[in-house]
Structure 1
Amino acid sequence: MGTDIGTDLRVLRADDWDQWYDNLIRAFGGVSEPSEERELWNALTETDRSIGAWDGDVVVGTAGAFSFRLTVPGGASVPAAGVTMVSVAATHRRRGVLTSMMRRQLDDVRSWGEPLAVLTASEPAIYGRFGYGAATFQIQSEIDTNRVSLSVPDGTDDVRLRYAAPADVLDACEAVYARLVPLRPGMLARMPGWERLGLLDPEKERDGASPLQCVVAERGGETVGYARFRVKPEWELAGAKGAVILQDLTALDPVARAALWRFLFGIDLTSTLVTGGRPVDDDWQYLVSDVRRCLPRVRDSLYVRLVDVGAALEARTYQAPVDVVFEVEDDFCPWNTGRWRLTGDAKGASCARTTDAADLALSVRELGAAYLGGVSLASLGAAGRVREMRQGTLAEAAVGFESVVSPWLPHGF
């Protein structure tokens, strides 16, 4: 399959990876990565699921798709193509290269039998036209720990904390993470090799902060949580004003999480705790004395694309009964266009084509945004993105699609 300008698309070969990846790096500014990071992405790249656009013997476009399993509402782990490493050389922009790669990739995902494609967007404006909708969000904060205090639940003092080298406790930390994956939509089951992502610690990317540190939380001899972080020392005439930069905090229960948060708030010689990429319903927000001095900011995270509308809607459950006919528009993947009847509840769902009259009309992009339960169909309706054809069905469907906990992507890819 070729692009509109005569370049060729072909599956990536292992011995072409360096040139392929160099094109990606150049497209993102040309700053070389530390060797340990480049080596990890080389090991994680699935060449048989990656494509390159070639102009003669030069790579001018890249796109890959990781084999992921994504938690959806109800706890099922659903196959999803993790779209990644997308780039087009600046010399070949606006010439159909990206569209051609997206066309080939979604055709491939469909042939693999994967109902979902997901990605994180460097430029959100790009992917809406290919049917991706922003489905999860994350909160970032800069907490003034000199002025903000925590009110922790009973039992917090029973949690034992200890420092450990991150690599030494990796297996225990991964076991904690794995237990939480089915409990929150948007989380990824980490396949072998992906655990190394959390240990990346190149010196040139620390920006003056310490090497990666880790504290594990234990109770009754069991690891019940962990935090990975760096400390960035800083001083002024009045004294120390260092920052704790949180990379990851994961725990099995509220008490263990509170113990870890309290530890991070109290590290000597620091006055700021910087968090990034946390769930929008993260519990620290309800423990702090003054959320305004935490400077919370919300931004988009995971974008979802339904490759097979019927299979995707059947794969999740619905917190309230739904019986609704969607009129779906999908210009880029026309096999999804048409009417679909979704019937489901907390126990399961079915979704099949129908000739019945439509209750709601929307594009596949809106279905992707609402799919994990973090974006309300009612909100999309208020924005004019979902049209109600039968009165009352929008509110009913919106309640059914919601998730009890906010969907969250724990790390990028």
Structure 2
Amino acid sequence: MTTELRTLSASEWDPWFDCVELAFGGVPFPPEKREMYAALAEPDRAVGLWDGADCVGTAGAYSFRLTVPGGAAVPAAGVTAVSVAATHRRQGLLTSMMRRQLDDVRSWGEPLAVLLASEPGIYGRFGYAAATSEMNLRVDTSRVGLKLPPGTDEVRVRRSSPEQALDACEAVYARLAAARPGTPLRQPGWERVPVNDPESSRHGGSPLQCVLAERDGAITGYATFHLRPAWDDAGPRGTVAVRDLAALDPASYAALWRFLAGVDLTSFVECRNRPVDDAVLRLVSDVRRCDARLRDGLYVRLVSVDAALEARGYRAPVDVVLEVEDAFCPWNEGRWRLTAGAQGAPTCRRTADEPELALSSNELAAAYLGGVSLTTLAAAGQVRELREGALAEASLAFSSDVQPWCPHGF
């Protein structure tokens, strides 16, 4: 078959998105959600594969700024809506789109590309690696208590509509996003994503509800959630299904959890996609009854090794020569000297010096946000130490005080 790969025009977005819907099961998006994605679309950053008049492949890239270790917000392509029609599989079309997209991202001067993978086995061959994890919880609040920190009783929790609370919630999100690697800063329009609430997405629950935490008249946290009623012969067994939960201090966080755990006619609090170092694991009286489960989160691709490594901060001084393998983006291959100290900006420059650590771009991507240690990757045979001590030095430098986390999809 002859296909044409080209940048999307605004008038082509509807058939392009139809292709995405079909590839992901053929169930139409709710109109409200489709309208939201249409408003967020950046057609000039998307490509489509066309077989005559039919769109048979898609790949988009949002303009994101991603928090990295050290607190900088780094330009990143938020890769989204990657699909190939079932009729056009195994013809190299995905590879051609990934090739074009990474070339484009490099030309835009963005050192990172990130995505959330529908299937984790797909993207490794293009240099992506899982750099964050996320935790799902189902807390049995009929059997789990909370150890509340001092000041919890001073926090007021009050109800608000999600729409009315939007600005206050976004202000809290912005403060927390700057401190957590892997978190995208909200770009214009993205503040609508957390309150988009089509009935078909509630899974039998109530319309989206919201509570705010207040201390001394200031908003210090929020939670949005659905209630899913359920009953058995013993009585009510409802679930509080949390969508978003955030707070600026421990007492406000605990107060929000106390509210969620005490909602009438419920026995469970269910949270999807929480950071793996979530403080609630230290608040609960019985972590075994929280059914905590981990899965892969944000996938990272270093589009330009030097710019990406210079953009982040380091937990400790480091001076190491990296031998990088990158067959898909060959401009990254070779030896790079990474230097970071207590003062001055980090530098990453090409060098002819002897290598001290050997790894591929996948391992650099996995370790980039500080959630996967180079030591762990070395134990799996994916990083080779060529100078004694280099691994420990670099692993400490790349680590993060808090676990990286991407709190929402795209």
- TM-score normalised to the size of structure 2? 0.99
Contact 1:228 1:247 in 2 (8 A): yes
Q: What residue identity is the alignment partner of 1:314?
A: E
SS of 1:124's partner is coil
Instruction: For 1:54-69, list aligned pairs within 5 A.
Output: 54-69=50-65
Are positions 1:273 and 2:234 aligned together?
no
Q: What is the CA RMSD across the aligned residues, in angstroms?
A: 0.8
Measure, in 1, the Cα distance between the counterparts of 2:104 and 2:200: 37
Measure, in 2, the Cα distance between the counterparts of 1:238 and 1:281: 35
Measure, in 2, the Cα distance between the counterparts of 1:52 and 1:358: 41
Measure, in 1, the Cα distance between the counterparts of 2:158 and 2:230: 25
Distance 1:205 1:172, change over 3 A: same
Instruction: For 1:272-291, list aligned pairs within 5 A.
Output: 272-291=268-287
How far 1:346 moved relative to its partner?
Answer: 5.4
Measure, in 2, the Cα distance between the counterparts of 1:383 and 1:205: 40
Q: What residue identity is the alignment partner of 1:26?
A: L
Aligned to 1:321: 317
Match of 2:384 among 363, 382, 387: 387
Measure, in 2, the Cα distance between the counterparts of 1:34 and 1:82: 22
Instruction: For 1:252-271, list aligned pairs within 5 A.
Output: 252-271=248-267
Measure, in 2, the Cα distance between the counterparts of 1:322 and 1:393: 9
Contact 1:317 1:345 in 2 (8 A): no
Measure, in 2, the Cα distance between the counterparts of 1:176 and 1:204: 28
Are positions 1:234 and 2:230 aligned together?
yes
Measure, in 2, the Cα distance between the counterparts of 1:407 and 1:356: 32
Distance 1:374 1:400, change over 3 A: same
Alignment length, in residue pairs? 409
Instruction: For 1:5-404, list aligned pairs within 5 A.
Output: 6-345=2-341, 347=343, 348-404=345-401
Measure, in 1, the Cα distance between the counterparts of 2:182 and 2:365: 12
Measure, in 2, the Cα distance between the counterparts of 1:279 and 1:345: 29
Percent identity reads 65
Q: What residue identity is the alignment partner of 1:404?
A: D
Give a deviation string over 1:239-283, Cα, whole Å, max 9, x none.
000000000001111111111011111111100111110000000
Measure, in 1, the Cα distance between the counterparts of 2:342 and 2:296: 27
Q: What residue identity is the alignment partner of 2:368?
A: Y
SS of 1:314's partner is helix
SS of 2:178's partner is helix
Moved over 2 A (4+): 345-348
How far 1:181 moved relative to its partner?
Answer: 1.4
Q: What residue identity is the alignment partner of 2:393?
A: E
How far 1:180 moved relative to its partner?
Answer: 1.2
Contact 1:74 1:346 in 2 (8 A): no
Q: What residue identity is the alignment partner of 1:96?
A: G
Measure, in 1, the Cα distance between the counterparts of 2:127 and 2:397: 22
Contact 1:345 1:400 in 2 (8 A): no
Give a deviation string over 1:135-168, Cα, whole Å, max 9, x none.
0000001111000000010000111111001001
Measure, in 1, the Cα distance between the counterparts of 2:87 and 2:342: 51
Contact 1:319 1:346 in 2 (8 A): no
Measure, in 2, the Cα distance between the counterparts of 1:46 and 1:340: 34
How far 1:54 moved relative to its partner?
Answer: 0.5
Measure, in 2, the Cα distance between the counterparts of 1:25 and 1:119: 18
* Structure 1 unaligned regions, length at least 5: none
Q: What residue identity is the alignment partner of 2:354?
A: A
Measure, in 2, the Cα distance between the counterparts of 1:204 and 1:373: 37
How far 1:345 moved relative to its partner?
Answer: 3.5
Measure, in 2, the Cα distance between the counterparts of 1:48 and 1:316: 28
Q: After the TM superposition, which of the residue ranges 195-204 and 105-114 deviates more from structure 2?
A: 195-204
Measure, in 2, the Cα distance between the counterparts of 1:106 and 1:92: 22
* Structure 2 unaligned regions, length at least 5: none
Measure, in 1, the Cα distance between the counterparts of 2:236 and 2:341: 55
Contact 1:306 1:312 in 2 (8 A): yes
Contact 1:319 1:345 in 2 (8 A): no
SS of 2:148's partner is coil
